[in-house]
Amino acid sequence: MAAIIQAENVTKVYRIGKVDVPALRGVSFNVEKGEFVSIVGPSGSGKSTLFYVLGGLTRATAGRVTIDGADFAQLSDAERTEMRKRKIGFVFQKFNLLPTLTARDNIQIAREIAGKDGADSALLNRVTEMLGIAARLDHRPAELSGGEQQRVALARALVNGPSIVLADEPTGNLDSRNSEIVLKMLRDANQQFGQTVLMITHNPEAATYGDRIIHMRDGSIVSAEEDPQWATRH
């Protein structure tokens, strides 16, 4: 299979006053289409910076990021924004739901941002049924549990049928029961919709939901491992 995400010697340096602070130090790896890859590491390892670079939310200082054949360095800001709308669904630790909108409207706003007119009822129904929130769509965020809010956020990421789902600490604000539910649903999205999932996490147990685990420390990849026993453990 062809790589849908390619990182080649990616470096990110932040300038703080007169001091250069490296967050990524020559990171290189590929993610194949349809893979579920977990990137795990402690706080300060650079994994969240990598998430923002891969999502086109910030530019690498050096190196190359290619998403589905497009080199981010060669794209204008407008072109990168369009790429994010068409190709990438984002899931964050904070649910980022609009409190005055219902769950349904919070999901549908993703289609409006992407410039898609009207609701894709079949896809919306399939996604919300899979996530177990079909009966909660007319409720506002304050009326939903934390786990339900994260499932709404996940539905928002999936409703446009993106090729890639990038999840940054998606269980960071959830208890163990809801964490397991969300992780299994990310896995279901990967298997049922064929979407490539790249998940950032500090939790080694959560990382085992991926097909492959990449370990980071101090801005570098320190090891990578395949995880063929996933099905026997979950």
Render pLDDT for 104-125 as a digit per residue (tens, 0 to 9). Answer: 999 988 777 766 655 567 778 8
Class of domain 3-233: alpha beta
Confidence of residue 187 (pLDDT cuts 50, 70, 90): very high
- Checking if the pLDDT of 1 tops 60, the result is no
Residue 22 has pLDDT above 90, yes or no: yes
Counting residues of the chain whose pLDDT is more than 90, the rounded percentage is 51
pLDDT of 67 reads 93
List the domain boundaries for the chain: 3-233
Which pLDDT value is given to residue 75? 87
Helix (H) or strand (E) holding 201: strand 196-201
Q: Are 67 and 178 in contact (CB under 8 A)?
A: no
Average pLDDT, the chain: 88
Sign of CA dihedral 43, 54, 190, 109: positive
Share of the chain above pLDDT 70, in %: 92
Q: 121 to each of 42, 104, 163, how far by Cα in Å?
A: 40, 11, 19
| pLDDT at position 204 over 60 | yes
pLDDT over 50 at 62, yes or no: yes
Give the list of residues 6+ apart from residue 114 with CB closer than 8 angstroms, or none: 85, 86, 160
Q: What is the pLDDT of residue 232?
A: 46
pLDDT for the residue 93: 84
pLDDT band for position 228 (cuts 50, 70, 90): very low
- Residue 12, judged by CB atoms within 10 A of its CB (0-12, 13-18, 19+), counts as buried
pLDDT at 229 over 60: no
0.85 surpassed by pTM:
yes
What pLDDT was estimated at residue 115? 65
Question: What is the spatial distance between Cα 195 and Cα 161, in angstroms, rounded to a whole number?
Answer: 8
- pLDDT given for residue 226 in this prediction: 64
pLDDT score, position 230: 46
Instruction: Please state the rounded mean pLDDT for residues 205-210.
Output: 93
